[in-house]
Amino acid sequence: MTFDPLVIRKDFPIFERSIRDGKRLVYLDSGATSQKPVVVIEAESNFYRNHNAAAHRGAHQLAEEATEALESAREVVANFLGGAVDEIVFTKHSTEALNLLAYSIGNSPVGNRFHLQAGDEIVVSEMEHHANLIPWQQLAKRTGAVLKWFEVTPDGRLDLSNIDGVITNRTKIVALTHQSNVLGTINPLTDLVKRTHQVGAIFILDACQSVPHMPVNVGALDIDFLVFSGHKAVGPTGVGVLWGRANLLDELPPFLFGGSMIESVTMTDATWAPAPRKFEPGVPNMAQIVGLGSALNYLTAIGMQKIHNHEIAITEYAISKLQEIQDLKIVGPVDMNLRGGAVSFTLGDIHPHDLGQFLDNSGIAVRTGHHCAWPLTRKMGVPATTRASFYLYNTLADIDVLFDGVRDAQKYFG
Amino acid sequence: MTFDPLVIRKDFPIFERSIRDGKRLVYLDSGATSQKPVVVIEAESNFYRNHNAAAHRGAHQLAEEATEALESAREVVANFLGGAVDEIVFTKHSTEALNLLAYSIGNSPVGNRFHLQAGDEIVVSEMEHHANLIPWQQLAKRTGAVLKWFEVTPDGRLDLSNIDGVITNRTKIVALTHQSNVLGTINPLTDLVKRTHQVGAIFILDACQSVPHMPVNVGALDIDFLVFSGHKAVGPTGVGVLWGRANLLDELPPFLFGGSMIESVTMTDATWAPAPRKFEPGVPNMAQIVGLGSALNYLTAIGMQKIHNHEIAITEYAISKLQEIQDLKIVGPVDMNLRGGAVSFTLGDIHPHDLGQFLDNSGIAVRTGHHCAWPLTRKMGVPATTRASFYLYNTLADIDVLFDGVRDAQKYFG
Amino acid sequence: MQLDNLYQEVILDHYKRPQNKKLSANYDAQVHHVNPSCGDEIDLNLTITDGTISNISWDGVGCSISQASVSILTDLLIGKKIDEAYSIFDHFVALMQSKGTVSGDEAVLEDAIALAGVSKYPARIKCALLGWMAFKDASVQAQSKSKLD
Amino acid sequence: MQLDNLYQEVILDHYKRPQNKKLSANYDAQVHHVNPSCGDEIDLNLTITDGTISNISWDGVGCSISQASVSILTDLLIGKKIDEAYSIFDHFVALMQSKGTVSGDEAVLEDAIALAGVSKYPARIKCALLGWMAFKDASVQAQSKSKLD
Ligand SMILES: Cc1ncc(COP(=O)(O)O)c(C=O)c1O
Ligand SMILES: Cc1ncc(COP(=O)(O)O)c(C=O)c1O
């Protein structure tokens, strides 16, 4: 099957609507959230129309069907990531998945391999999204652990000149993003993971911006935990994924407490079901999980490598075009070997908010601000940036519209 | 508008399907999760088809529309409960909402009104769902607080003979269910809330089984926090609600950390946005929140009092019919003044699992087991029960089918 | 009736007249297993003599499927060599997980073949496996104990 | 172009030539406000003399709307009695929250009427209000300070 974004767009009903009095929607904000193909929308509504019941709770036919739908989706996710079925925990988004890890680690008693004590070290980086920064700040405060970080170079890469000085024998956790949601930088993981395991620490990957956009295999990466959000991967809102190595999920204490995650309960005490159940109390976000399964099947049918190639091509074109514009500065690497399809930039004195508003008036949706990575924008020496981010349904024509829009904005505010 | 469940059923597509080779679906498991009317299903898919974008993040038209959709739903929920807009926090389900409270309280520093120390007391009851029991067990373990509880009488009511002995000057939190998901008992709250406030404690209401079924007004109840789940109130899966008094939400520390809940962030520290934002990090479960708004509008249009009256009528009929059956024992009060529409029972030596399976074969969906309230079933002296639970779409004819089914099961297993 | 496929005569018989349902005073291993989703519980005692299962006894509460299944298990496994018991165990688990696609080997499973219908009711598979998992657990404990002796 | 409604001449003028954008050495109250969703920041100094706003000065970074809005505010409120300033404040906030249904009273709002278009862009309302909220905050601090003196 050849990859044709114009054909793919037909799967996404939102492209049938127009923006600001009849303009074509040029959606360049998939880094914030992706659009949804009709199969995903219908997977969710089909579940409600035909199979809705509380999964894992009840011996009636609807409950059986709901359970089957839920567990098939778990299998899809496991296959997509190259993990085992029982290694997949469903959350509401990656933010919850990262908080789950931080709280569960905080709940680990003395003797548990995850137990943290004063002086232990947690390593993040300056390019983390707030979701992979603040939970660790707070865990450090609660436990007396020390938060350390890799710095970011002026051209927007992780400064790895001193890996062994940052990840030390005191390090217990290394939590890093796979691809920066601001800079587009894809971080090279091999040496980082190796060093992490050398010192006996665990490696947590924030794969929010990579799993939707390129083939990611947890085995090949040799990491310990991974999180991503369904809504950025053409899936529904309200569902995220935590993958963890079976033996680690086994030892990790639970996070949220309630029904269906227990083995036995008395008024004063409780014991836990095996993972993944132990991390999934309550009636699950069933329709959303089913929708996510359908989303990953959709992406797989198209092919993750093809999607990645397409995005690389678009990004390369976008960067070369944007660089033609006077006063436009790309914030992040311009070498295509180092990056994926999120491009942030500044435009002389024109504030990103004004630029974004102007582009919106032409039907172009971009994101402006600090993109939930405030320490990073500060480090890059800008108060805010404008970000265009790409996905399988974007075309080179979208880039041309962006290019014209930016130049028109310069005239308007000039 | 007269209330007619046969007309209402037409709004729920699932009733068009059949069960086990052509049998009519008699859905008596709404206590676990409710079915969804087409307006709710379409509210979710419409959001994806027309307005999907990351709410509160971006100045483009889709993001504006998504924000508007989300915040209108918040207004609907606030009006439905009689609270203020900024007092509504969206979660993934009530289980998360209760854990949010327990963790946030656990995060409260010395000097904060929520701060717990060894010897402080937390009060629950023997009829709590695991979701309103285990989070408090765990909070007690973490802080050294003492977990106390109201017992349940043999006929399935809270034993309130010694309110002042259970709720004392050491009590900091009282967390109780409004209606038992097993017994159907509706707990009388007035004296409990009064006593709770008299000792300076906060009152948390698990309204999972009441908000979907009767008018509930947080002001009239004079409570401090309330939780419920959307999926039990004809809403989507994957969305729940925490309501809290504004001044209390203000003082309560946040729970999940990440994007959009912050005021300012550096590498080592962060400060928080005002409530409700401070409790809602990450890209929200937007489509589900919008669906919940539509669900509550649907219920409101029919009328919560009418829905309640209908359920009371059905329940009364069910109890009187079921009591005709030899060896059938209702577990819970039979006085209609004390209860709502969840009826648990045992049937001689026939195990609930077998009964449930037999009923399923006749198209009847009931729940069997301990219903995530294991200490309660133990207290009631039964290993498990069969539960039939009712909602607006159930009819007296459904009860007749149940009655026949139970009698046929007796013959089959007798 | 479709349901008769699930509730075969043999199952209802074992349910009404369970075999070896009285915990023995002596045993090499004793285990307690629970099915948390429905609250079914079982205690099971196991004795192994010279590599042969010389006794299994049990007590418990649960549905007809779980009760009949453990009763059938005791009839089937007492007197068997431990290796043979494991092979029967594997056959039985495979049958349960087959979603109705396998009919099972009656020569191996004997009365346990009557539980084949359970495999079409996913929520009940755990019921049928409760006693078998307890047996497996107990056998591992008994054997590691005998190694220590 | 529809956008011209939002970006009126007056706004772009104030943006390019902001008024009173240099923090004064003396003040009764100094505040720092932030718009966390976009990172815009403002410092604002306020002096009140005998119930009259005698000076407002500021510095900050932000979009044209937030910068123009505070610049217009200083022009409009310096020299006004504090009560009158509050009444203008209320008018302005009501205009912003009107979703375009109100056109505003030019006699009261003067140049600030040019910001009326913002009310149709919900995500920008906070930009327009940033300086105004800073002013309100500073005025409360300045007055409580003068009560203490
Ligand atoms: C009384 C009560 N509390 C809490 C819950 C938990 O609800 P959820 O699973 O939607 O979080 C339930 C339902 O399962 C319930 O009935
Ligand atoms: C790198 C990265 N991490 C974490 C997140 C948080 O994702 P969510 O809001 O879906 O939890 C995002 C997206 O906002 C992201 O880009």
Residues 62-121 of D with CB under 8 A from B: 121
| C121 chain-A contacts, CB cut-off 8 A | 59, 64
Kindly state whether residues B235 and B203 are assigned to the same domain. Answer: yes
Q: What is the pLDDT of residue C146?
A: 75
Query: Which ligand sits nearest to residue B33's alpha carbon?
Result: 1
Q: Give A97 Cα–ligand 2 centroid separation in angstroms.
A: 10
Q: How many angstroms away from the CA of A65 is the closest CA of chain C?
A: 9
> Which residues contact ligand 2 via a Cβ below 6 A?
A 93-95, 129, 131-132, 177, 181, 206, 208-209, 229, 372; B 259, 282-283
Which residue of B lies nearest to D122 if distances are taken between CA atoms? B64
Q: Considering chain B, what is the average pLDDT of its residues?
A: 97
B58 touches chain D (CB under 8 A): yes
Q: What is the pLDDT of residue C20?
A: 96
* Domain boundary residue, one of A278, A300, A322: A300
pTM of structure: 0.96
* Residue listed under structure tokens 């911006």: A209
Q: What is the pLDDT of residue C1?
A: 63
Three-state SS for C53?
strand
Is residue B24 a part of any domain in this protein? Answer: yes
Domain count, chain B: 2
Residue A1: pLDDT band by 50, 70, 90 thresholds? low
Q: What is the pLDDT of residue C148?
A: 66
Q: Which residues contact A247 (CB under 8 A, 6 or more apart)?
A: none
CB B152 within 8 A of CB B127: yes
In the numeric block, which tokens belong to residue B79?
A: 């009006």
Q: How many angstroms away from the CA of A262 is the closest CA of chain C?
A: 7
Give φ, ψ of B328 to 5 degrees.
-90, 125
Three-state SS for A391?
coil
CB contact under 8 A, C37 and A63: no
Give the residue whose CA is nearest to atom 14 of ligand 1.
B32
Is residue A35 a part of any domain in this protein? Answer: no
Please tell me if the CB atom of residue B206 comes closer than 6 angstroms to any atom of ligand 1: yes
- Nearest Cα to Cα of residue C42 among C77, C73, C76, C66: C66
Q: Which of D34, D36, D123 minimises the CB distance to B59?
A: D123
Is residue A147 a part of any domain in this protein? Answer: yes
Q: Give A258 Cα–ligand 1 centroid separation in angstroms.
A: 8
* CA–CA gap between residue B343 and residue B389 (Å, rounded): 6
CATH number of the domain that residue B204 is part of: 3.40.640.10
CB A132 within 8 A of CB A175: yes
B361 touches chain C (CB under 8 A): yes
Q: What is the pLDDT of residue D144?
A: 85
Which residue of C lies nearest to B368 if distances are taken between CA atoms? C38
Please tell me if the CB atom of residue B229 comes closer than 6 angstroms to any atom of ligand 1: yes
CB C74 within 8 A of CB C57: yes
Q: What is the pLDDT of residue A334?
A: 95
CB B232 within 8 A of CB B208: yes
Please tell me if the CB atom of residue B202 comes closer than 6 angstroms to any atom of ligand 1: no
- Nearest Cα to Cα of residue A241 among A207, A287, A275, A213: A207
Kindly state whether residues B407 and B296 are assigned to the same domain. Answer: no
- Nearest Cα to Cα of residue A60 among C10, B230, B32: B32
CB A209 within 8 A of CB A390: no
Three-state SS for A140?
helix
Q: What is the pLDDT of residue B64?
A: 94
Chains near A with 3+ CB pairs less than 8 A apart are: B, C, D
Q: How many angstroms away from the CA of B231 is the closest CA of chain C?
A: 20
State the closest ligand 2 atom to the C-alpha of A180, by its place in the atom list counted from 1. Answer: 1
Q: Which residues contact B107 (CB under 8 A, 6 or more apart)?
A: A138, B253, B254, B255
C34 touches chain B (CB under 8 A): no
Where residue B29 falls (left for φ over 0; alpha for ψ -120 to 50; beta otherwise) is alpha
* CA–CA gap between residue A243 and residue A224 (Å, rounded): 8
- Nearest Cα to Cα of residue C10 among C89, C97, C118: C118
Chains near C with 3+ CB pairs less than 8 A apart are: A, B
C34 touches chain A (CB under 8 A): yes
Q: What is the pLDDT of residue C5?
A: 87
CB B295 within 8 A of CB B230: yes
The amino acid present at A184, given as its one-letter code, is G
CATH number of the domain that residue A397 is part of: 3.90.1150.10
Kindly state whether residues A25 and A118 are assigned to the same domain. Answer: no
Map out the domains of chain D with their CATH numbers.
3-148 (3.90.1010.10)
Residue B346: pLDDT band by 50, 70, 90 thresholds? very high
Is residue A374 a part of any domain in this protein? Answer: yes
Is residue B247 a part of any domain in this protein? Answer: yes
Interface confidence: ipTM more than 0.90: yes
Q: What is the mean pLDDT of residues C93-107?
A: 90
Query: Which ligand sits nearest to residue B211's alpha carbon?
Result: 1
Q: Considering chain A, what is the average pLDDT of its residues?
A: 97
- Check B145, B166, B347, B372 and give the catalytic one: B372
State the closest ligand 1 atom to the C-alpha of B177, by its place in the atom list counted from 1. Answer: 1
- Nearest Cα to Cα of residue B414 among B325, B302, B310: B325
* Domain boundary residue, one of A300, A329, A356: A300
Residue A18 CB coordination number (10 Å): 12
Which residue of D lies nearest to B55 if distances are taken between CA atoms? D123
Q: What is the pLDDT of residue A96?
A: 98
* Residue A208 known to be catalytic: no
In the numeric block, which tokens belong to residue B290?
A: 């919008």
| A263 chain-C contacts, CB cut-off 8 A | 34, 36
Kindly state whether residues A185 and A206 are assigned to the same domain. Answer: yes
Kindly state whether residues B197 and B273 are assigned to the same domain. Answer: yes
DSSP bridge partners of B226:
B205, B243
B90-115 core/surface letters (b: 16 or more CB in 10 A; e: else)? bbbbbbbbbbbbbbbbbbbeeeeebb
Mutational test site, ligand 1, from B92, B99, B129, B134, max ligand atoms within 8 Å of CB? B129
Query: Which ligand sits nearest to residue B236's alpha carbon?
Result: 1
Kindly state whether residues B195 and B248 are assigned to the same domain. Answer: yes
CB D42 within 8 A of CB D134: yes
Could you tell me how many CB contacts below 8 A there are between chain A and chain D? 48
Q: Is the pLDDT of residue C105 over 80?
A: yes
- What's D115's DSSP letter? G
Kindly state whether residues B165 and B134 are assigned to the same domain. Answer: yes
pLDDT tens, D112-126? Answer: 999 999 999 988 999
- Cite the beta strand spans of C36-75 per DSSP E: 40-49, 52-61
Residue A98: pLDDT band by 50, 70, 90 thresholds? very high
Kindly state whether residues B182 and B292 are assigned to the same domain. Answer: yes
* Domain boundary residue, one of A256, A281, A300: A300
Query: Which ligand sits nearest to residue A260's alpha carbon?
Result: 1
Q: How many angstroms away from the CA of B150 is the closest CA of chain A?
A: 11
CB contact under 8 A, B36 and A48: yes
Q: Give B397 Cα–ligand 1 centroid separation in angstroms.
A: 28
CB A278 within 8 A of CB A61: no
- Cα A264 → chain centroid: 35
Q: What is the pLDDT of residue D149?
A: 63
Kindly state whether residues A357 and A240 are assigned to the same domain. Answer: no
Residue B42 CB coordination number (10 Å): 15
Q: What is the mean pLDDT of residues C28-36?
A: 92
Look at strands D29-35 and C52-61 and give their pairing: unpaired
Mutational test site, ligand 1, from B208, B214, B225, max ligand atoms within 8 Å of CB? B208
Kindly state whether residues A14 and A68 are assigned to the same domain. Answer: no
CB B84 within 8 A of CB B272: no
- What's A313's DSSP letter? H
Q: Which of B357, B374, B377 minimises the CB distance to C124?
A: B357
* CA–CA gap between residue B196 and residue B174 (Å, rounded): 7
Residue D35: pLDDT band by 50, 70, 90 thresholds? confident
In the numeric block, which tokens belong to residue A56?
A: 């894992």
Where residue A190 falls (left for φ over 0; alpha for ψ -120 to 50; beta otherwise) is alpha
Range of the domain at A393: 5-30+304-413
Kindly state whether residues B332 and B351 are assigned to the same domain. Answer: yes
Q: What is the pLDDT of residue A154?
A: 96
Q: How many angstroms away from the CA of C117 is the closest CA of chain A?
A: 14
Q: What is the pLDDT of residue A149?
A: 98
Q: Is the pLDDT of residue D134 over 90?
A: yes
D122 touches chain B (CB under 8 A): yes
Of the two residues A284 and C39, the one the predictor is more confident about is A284
Kindly state whether residues B165 and B130 are assigned to the same domain. Answer: yes
Residue C149: pLDDT band by 50, 70, 90 thresholds? low
